[in-house]
């Protein structure tokens, strides 16, 4: 028997990939499956970005790059961060990583060990908790509540900090609930964090450009007082419909940057070179496709929310960001995971049960509205028929 480290007894997964595999298998059997499970834009990567990758290969950019990423890309990231947050990071503090997820992997590895506590949102992206458990650190859930429109509560978050707290993970706009934390709450959180200078913060802002109804995204990068211990997580996957390219970036405080670079050198040497040129074209080229995609998500959001609220036993707050709805299904009489599973097997609609995102996820399911309006309408109709027949 091979003896691997004990972290593997605790590491989790992302159930969205298991649901995707099941949905794909059912579709291969000839079933008509509507996938509202996986969180990825249903748009194609814009042509000019694809062309930039092809050109990079033709120009001979097929070798290793610096471990942190090519300089023009890191400069473009710095300029983009400045445009959106008012602060221009030094390109030397920017790390290009193979997908946004890698930043959380690195940050949690950097701070997690037995005895340490790491705060993370619940419901939240499942990998936060999984990786915290892997390191042996204690995961401390920050409750994300429906009655608070799924925004962070500064007071509740700050109340969880103690002398063992090493890292706090925040995420706005958020997966899976679509909540966006308003400016006043972010300011309160930052003011509280100023009193805990030894606690690092990772701000997952991968959905930064997807807010609706005039809601502003407030980046933690815009607050000077915490910047020296802030790790910014962002990337191309959602904004530019590039999930499969595996392109993300992080901005690290100077104190941590060399550690992050060493992890990168140890793990992947550098990110796929042509993909980096594609990422450069994405940031420096026209942004019309991004705006059109977000406008389309906004239209679908209304269809999803209205449709969900018309279903028996279902109520849904209007999400203000990302591309997820997180309806409350408590009055249907179903538990969330059995409902998600029955919707897939019997009604051909893939969703994700709320408990896959944390303890507070019971009573909710997640729907991604990164699918056509027609499919969303068909899915809602099927869900309505299913719930009427199986109350």
Contact positions vs ligand PLP (CB under 6 A)? 39, 99-101, 125, 171, 175, 204, 206, 235, 237, 243, 248
Question: CB-wise, 125 or 277, nearer to ligand PLP?
Answer: 125
Give the span between the Cα atoms of 55 and 19, in whole angstroms.
36
CB 143 within 8 A of CB 156: yes
Cis before residue 98, ω within 30 degrees of 0?
Answer: no
What's the first-to-final CA gap in the chain, in angstroms?
Answer: 48
Question: CB-wise, 350 or 387, nearer to ligand PLP?
Answer: 350
Question: CB-wise, 123 or 348, nearer to ligand PLP?
Answer: 123
Q: How far is the CB of 173 from ligand PLP (least distance, A)?
A: 9
Question: CB-wise, 127 or 329, nearer to ligand PLP?
Answer: 127
Q: How far is the CB of 17 from ligand PLP (least distance, A)?
A: 10
Q: Which residues contact 47 (CB under 8 A, 6 or more apart)?
A: none
Q: How far is the CB of 126 from ligand PLP (least distance, A)?
A: 9
Q: How far is the CB of 170 from ligand PLP (least distance, A)?
A: 10
Question: CB-wise, 271 or 305, nearer to ligand PLP?
Answer: 271
Q: How far is the CB of 99 from ligand PLP (least distance, A)?
A: 3
Q: How far is the CB of 108 from ligand PLP (least distance, A)?
A: 12
Q: What is the greatest pairwise CA distance in the chain?
A: 61
Q: Which residues contact 221 (CB under 8 A, 6 or more apart)?
A: 81, 85, 87, 89, 203, 205, 227, 230, 232, 251
Question: CB-wise, 74 or 101, nearer to ligand PLP?
Answer: 101
Q: How far is the CB of 118 from ligand PLP (least distance, A)?
A: 16
Question: CB-wise, 100 or 355, nearer to ligand PLP?
Answer: 100
Count CA within 13 A, CB hemisphere, residue 300.
Answer: 28
Give the CA dihedral 327, 36, 125, 94, nearest 10 degrees: -130
Q: For residue 298, how many other CB atoms are within 10 A of its CB?
A: 15
Q: For residue 113, how many other CB atoms are within 10 A of its CB?
A: 11
């Amino acid at each position: 028997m091979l003896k691997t480290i004990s972290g593997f007894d605790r590491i989790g997964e992302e159930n969205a990939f298991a649901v995707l595999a099941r949905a794909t298998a059912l579709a291969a059997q000839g079933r008509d499956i509507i996938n509202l499970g996986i969180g990825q834009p249903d748009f194609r990567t814009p042509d000019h970005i694809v062309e930039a990758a092809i050109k990079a290969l033709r120009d001979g950019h097929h070798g290793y790059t610096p471990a942190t990423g090519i300089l023009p890309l890191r400069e473009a990231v710095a300029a983009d961060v400045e445009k959106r947050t008012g602060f221009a990071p030094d390109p030397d503090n920017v790390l290009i990583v193979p997908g946004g997820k890698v930043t959380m992997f690195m940050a949690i590895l950097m701070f997690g060990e037995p005895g340490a506590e790491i705060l993370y949102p619940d419901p939240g992206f499942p990998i936060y908790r999984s990786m915290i458990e892997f390191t042996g650190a204690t995961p401390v859930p920050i409750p994300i509540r429906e009655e608070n429109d799924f925004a962070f509560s500064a007071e509740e978050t700050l109340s969880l900090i103690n002398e063992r707290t090493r890292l706090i993970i925040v995420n706005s706009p958020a997966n899976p609930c679509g909540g966006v934390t308003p400016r006043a709450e972010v300011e309160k959180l930052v003011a509280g964090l100023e009193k805990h200078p030894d606690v690092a913060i990772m701000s997952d802002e991968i959905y930064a450009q997807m807010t609706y109804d005039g809601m502003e995204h407030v980046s933690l990068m815009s607050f000077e007082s915490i910047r020296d211990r802030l790790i910014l997580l962002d990337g191309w996957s959602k904004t530019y419909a590039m999930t499969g390219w595996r392109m993300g970036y992080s901005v690290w405080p100077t104190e941590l940057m060399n550690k992050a670079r060493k992890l990168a050198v140890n793990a992947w040497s550098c990110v796929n070179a042509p993909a980096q040129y594609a990422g450069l074209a994405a940031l420096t080229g026209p942004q019309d496709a991004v705006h059109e995609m977000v406008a389309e998500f906004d239209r679908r959001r209304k269809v999803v929310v209205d449709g969900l609220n018309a279903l028996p036993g279902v109520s849904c707050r209007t999400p203000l960001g990302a591309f997820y709805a997180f309806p409350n299904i408590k009055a249907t009489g179903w538990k969330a995971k059995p409902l998600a599973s029955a919707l897939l097997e019997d009604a051909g609609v893939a969703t994700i049960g709320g408990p896959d995102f944390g303890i507070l996820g019971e009573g909710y399911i997640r729907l991604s509205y990164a699918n056509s309006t027609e499919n969303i309408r068909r899915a809602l109709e099927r869900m309505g028929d299913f719930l009427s027949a199986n109350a």
